[in-house]
Amino acid sequence: MSDQHQVDEGSSRRSSEGISDVQDRPEGSPQNNGSKLRQNNKEKPKEMGTGKENVNSDSIGVEPLLSPGIQEEAGVEGNDPFNYEDKYPEDNIYEETAPNARVWRTYLDESTNHDVRMVGESRDSVDVLLVFAGLFSAVVTTFVSQTSQSLQADYAQVSASLLFEMVLIQRAIANGSSLDNVPASSLNPYAKFTPATTDVWVSGLWFTSLSLSLATALVAVLVKQWLHHYLALPSGTPQERNHVRQYRYGGFQKWHVLVIVGLLPVLMHLALGIFFVGLTVFLVPLRPGLSWVIGVGTVAAYTTYLITIFLPILYPQCPYRTPLSDLVYFPYHYITQDLFPKHVRPLFVKEGQLHNFTLDEPGAKVSSLDDLEREVVREESETLSVEALHWLFSSSSNPTVHDIVIQSIGGLPLSARAAAKKVFGEATHIRKAHNTLLYGSTQYLGGRSLKPSPGMESKVERLLRFELFIPHLHNGMDNETRARFYVDAADDDQGLTVAVQSNDTLQRSKYKAPDSPTSTAFFWQVTHSHPVMLPPVIWLELMRMAKDDGAFAPIDIDSLGLNGQVLKWLWWKCIRRWSVLRHYIYLDTAQATIFGPLYDHWLNS
C-alpha cells in the first residue's frame, strides 16, 4: 500500500462550481493537494475484475464520524449486535440444543425484537382507540340523554293539557255555555303511549352507537391485558423461556389476537357512522336542509373510507393501508384467484381458450398484502435501487453521503441504466460532484494525464464506472470531450484498466496515451486472458466500442478458400465452447434471462 496522507479538512473538498476538464488542470500543475484522503484510509487492493475490495475496520470515515455506540447501532464489523456468532460463544460438542445453548439465546434476542415491534404497534393502536372511545361515548351520552325522554310519556305535558281543559270548563260554566262545546284533552294519562317513528329511530341508532363504542373500549382493555401477559415470560433457562414464548406465540396465531386488534378500529368507525345517520334523522323534522348537508357529508366520508380500504389491494404502493385492508384481502384473493377462475370464468370462456385466460396482475399467486408488497418490490428492485440512491443524494447535504452514492451507482445492474437515466435526468448537480470527486482522487502526471492518488485506485475505478450510467459532465460536447484529461492505469491494475477502456469519453480524448490498445485489441486481450468476472454493463461497453472500431465487421469467408473453411470450423468450435466463454461474464438475475436463451439458440443451431 501507498503511504498515508493527511490533508487539511478545509481543503479536502473543491467546489463543484466552475470546474472543467481543461481549465482546472493547467499543464505543469503540481500534484493535486485537494485529494480527499483520511489518515485512517487503508484500502486494500481490489481483487481483479470482481468489483469488490477488501477494507479493514478502519475504513474511510468510521473512526471520526461514528462514536462507539453509534458504531454498534450501525453494525460496524466486530460490534454488530446481530452478529450472534461473535456475541455468543460456540457450544460444546453435542450441546448445540442444551438448555443454555447459543441457539436459544439467539432465539430470545430475535423473538424479543419481533415481539416488541408487534406488541408495540398493537398497544399504540389500542391506546388511541381507548382515548377516542372515551371522548366519543361522552358525546353520544349527552345526545342520548335528551332523546331518550321522547320514548316515554311526558306527564308534565299531560298535566298542562288537563289543567287547560279545566279552565275552559270553568269559563263555560261562568258564561252559561254548554259543556259539550268544550274540547276534550287529547292527552290521557291512562292511554297507551306510542312514540314517534323518528324518535324511535334516532334513539335506536344512538344507543347502538354508544353500545359499540363502550364495547370497543372494553375489548381494548382486555387486549392490553392479553399483550401484557404475552410479554411477561417466566424466569428460567433460555430453552425454558423459549418454549413458553413459542407456546404463547402459537396461541396468538391460533386465536387470531392480531385480527381482533385490527377489528377494533372497524367497530369505532361503525359506531361513528351510525351516530351520523342518527343525527341526520334527528334533524329531518327540525331542519331538513341541515339534515341533507350532514347526510351528504356522511355518505361522502364513508364512501371515501371504503375506497381507501380497497386501494392498497388494487395498488400495492398506496399508503392508505389499514388492518381492515389486510382482512379484506383474504376474501378478495379467494374470489379473484380461486372462486372466479374455477366457477365463473368457464361460463364465459370457451374450453379450448381457458388456459389462455389468466390473471396477470401482481398478487395472482400471493395470499397476503405483505406477500403482495414483497412481490412487487422484487419486480421493481432495479428502479427502487435507483430511486433510493437519488433520494439519498438529494435529501442529504453531507458530502460523505454524496461520495458514497456516487461511488455506488456504478454497481447497479445493466437493467437499471434506463431507470438511472429517467430518475436522475440531466443530473447536473451529481455530475459536477462526480467530476470534483474524480479530480480529488487523482494527481497530475504531465501531458494532460492523470493517475490515481496513492490508495485511490479502487475509488477511481468506481468513479469511472459511474459514467456508464450517468454520462460525464462534458459528454456530448465534442470539443470538451476530446480535451478531457486521460486517466492512466497501472499495468497490473486490471480493474481500473477495464474501467478506462470501457469509458467512451476517455477513449475519445486526444490526450489518450499513444501506446494504449485499441478497442478491438483490448477486447481480444480480455476475452483471451484468464477468466475475469466483469459485470454485463462493462461487457456491453467493451463490445460496443470494439464494434465501432470495426472488430465485428462482416467478411466474405468463401472468398478465402481453404482459410475460409478453417475460419468456419473455428467459429463453430467457439460457439460449441460458449459454456467456457460464459464464465467470463458475470450475470445478475435480469441479464441471465437475456444471455441464457441466446446461448441455447447457438448451442442447438
pLDDT at 504: 81
- Residue 63 — pLDDT band, cuts 50, 70, 90? very low
Asked if residue 447 and residue 373 are part of one domain, the reply reads no
- Residue 444 — pLDDT band, cuts 50, 70, 90? confident
Using DSSP's 3-state secondary structure scheme, residue 444 falls into strand
Say which range, 91-100, 436-445, 544-553, has the weakest mean pLDDT: 544-553
- Residue 601 — pLDDT band, cuts 50, 70, 90? very low
Asked if residue 333 and residue 270 are part of one domain, the reply reads no
Query: What's 469's DSSP letter?
Result: T
Percent of the chain with pLDDT over 90: 25
The residue among 535, 550, 565 that closes a domain is: 550
How far apart are the C-alpha atoms of 304 and 298, rounded to whole Å?
10
Mean pLDDT of the region 38-48 = 37
pLDDT at 151: 74
Asked if residue 408 and residue 277 are part of one domain, the reply reads no
Say which range, 125-139, 171-185, 215-229, 572-586, has the weakest mean pLDDT: 572-586
In a domain, 82, yes or no: no
The residue among 302, 322, 348 that closes a domain is: 302
Asked if residue 584 and residue 469 are part of one domain, the reply reads no
Asked if residue 266 and residue 118 are part of one domain, the reply reads yes
- Residue 73 — pLDDT band, cuts 50, 70, 90? very low
Mean pLDDT is highest, among 1-10, 26-35, 164-173, for 164-173
pLDDT at 598: 40
Give tens-digit pLDDT for 298-342. Answer: 999 999 999 999 999 889 889 898 888 888 888 888 787 777 666
Mean pLDDT of the region 121-130 = 93
In a domain, 89, yes or no: no
CA proximity to 601, closest of 568, 570, 575: 575
CA proximity to 231, closest of 147, 349, 111, 140: 111
Q: What does pTM read for this prediction? A: 0.63
How far apart are the C-alpha atoms of 415 and 30, rounded to whole Å?
41
Tell me how crowded residue 593 is: count the other CB atoms within 10 A of its CB: 10
Number of structural domains, the chain?
4
Residue 365 has pLDDT above 70, yes or no: no
In a domain, 97, yes or no: no
Place of cell 487539511: 8
The residue among 276, 302, 328 that closes a domain is: 302
Q: Which residues in 310-347 are b (16+ Cβ under 10 Å) and which e?
A: bbbbeebeeeebbbbbbbbbeebbeeebeeebeeeeee
Q: Which three cell numbers stand for residue 496?
A: 481500473
In a domain, 208, yes or no: yes
In a domain, 278, yes or no: yes
Host domain of residue 199: 106-302
In a domain, 78, yes or no: no
Asked if residue 346 and residue 385 are part of one domain, the reply reads no
pLDDT at 128: 94
Place of cell 469519453: 505
How far apart are the C-alpha atoms of 99 and 544, rounded to whole Å?
62
Residue 33 has pLDDT above 50, yes or no: no
In a domain, 320, yes or no: yes
pLDDT at 495: 85
Asked if residue 194 and residue 279 are part of one domain, the reply reads yes
pLDDT at 344: 58
Average pLDDT of the residues of the chain: 75
Give tens-digit pLDDT for 155-164. Answer: 677 677 778 7
Query: Which amino acid is it at 298?
Result: T
Following DSSP, what letter does each residue of 258-318 receive, concatenated?
Answer: HHHHHHHHHHHHHHHHHHHHHHHHHHTTT-HHHHHHHHHHHHHHHHHHHHHHHHHHH-TT-
Asked if residue 372 and residue 391 are part of one domain, the reply reads no
Asked if residue 587 and residue 505 are part of one domain, the reply reads no
Task: Identify which has the larger pLDDT, 173 or 363.
Answer: 173
Asked if residue 217 and residue 179 are part of one domain, the reply reads yes
Asked if residue 562 and residue 546 are part of one domain, the reply reads no
Asked if residue 387 and residue 356 are part of one domain, the reply reads no
Give tens-digit pLDDT for 501-513. Answer: 888 888 877 778 7
In a domain, 92, yes or no: no
How far apart are the C-alpha atoms of 591 and 382, rounded to whole Å?
12
